[in-house]
Amino acid sequence: MRFLLSIFLLLILSNAPAAGQSSTLPVKPPLTVMTDSSGKVDVRKFNKQEIQSYGSQGEFIYDDVPPQQQSLWQQFWSWFWRAIEALLTNNVSGGFIKYLVIGILIALVVFAVIKIIGADLIFFSKKSKTVQVPYHEIEENIHEIDFQEEIDKAISTGNYRYAVRLLYLFSLKQLDRKRLIHWQPEKTNHAYISEIQNEEHRSGFSTLTRQFEYIWYGEFAIGKEGFDAVRYSFEQFNSRLS
């Protein structure tokens, strides 16, 4: 036991620093900057011509391509849409302007539809002149009318609304002749539609009925161009019945 304690003390004493010896690390000397002692400095300059030549090459252009110069017409429309955007986002007038623009767009769509079906709607004016009908509607007998003669007569006098009515009555005559409907003067147009069993014929005649009622009962004027389009629709329908 004494022998082990002696060895342990010897190990401790051998690792202990000697008396008077400092246990801190040695201090390193400060770093110094060495200067060029040659005394000669060669100042180099950039070659402007070479820089310009590199700048003109596409692979050295890193900026975005500048926008093209707008024409006066393009500048006008840019200003116009900015003004519209400013009006719509304005807290005071924005709501009113928004609904006004929506109303104008709806009016334009309605006007376009009217033009497509061939009617000539005149805004802010009185209704079109009353069409003179040779005989009362209730007394019309589709089996006694010479349609070709009456249609030609209406066209020659520019009475296109009445010519459309004659086209509609002639189609009723064709439907009755084919026993697809049972014609009676007192029946309504939509009653005839419900009588047609063939889906294709019913859909076609329903379209013709809307055109006829819009032009005839709506009392809207129709020109020659619009009449020609409506007449073509009736002729196509009648040919499918043959």
Please state the domain extents for the chain.
73-117, 137-241
The whole-angstrom separation of Cα 128 and Cα 162 is 13
User: pLDDT of the chain along its 242 residues, tens only?
Assistant: 555 556 655 666 555 555 445 555 566 777 776 666 666 667 777 777 777 777 677 666 666 555 567 777 888 888 877 877 776 676 655 566 667 777 787 887 777 776 665 444 444 344 444 444 444 444 468 888 899 999 999 999 999 999 999 999 999 999 999 999 998 888 889 999 999 999 999 999 999 999 999 899 887 778 999 999 999 999 999 999 87
Record the tokens describing residue 214, joined without a space: 């819009």
pTM of the model: 0.46
- What are the CA-CA distances from residue 56 to residues 21, 64, 83, 129, 166 (Å)? 73, 14, 39, 74, 77
d(CA 126, CA 110): 19
Q: How far is CA 13 from CA 8, 163, 203, in A?
A: 9, 133, 118
The radius of gyration of the chain's CA atoms, rounded to the nearest angstrom, is 49
- For residues 154 and 241, give the distance between their C-alpha atoms in angstroms, rounded to a whole number: 25
Tokens of 167: 């086209």
Q: Rounded CA gap, 227 and 130, in Å?
A: 18
Determine the pLDDT at residue 93: 55
Say if CB 193 and CB 202 are below 8 A apart: yes
Alpha-carbon distances, residue 44 vs 10, 19, 41, 47, 131 (angstroms): 71, 63, 10, 10, 98
Three-state secondary structure readout of 225-239: HHHHHHHHHHHHHHH
Interatomic CA distance for residues 102 and 52, integer angstroms: 55
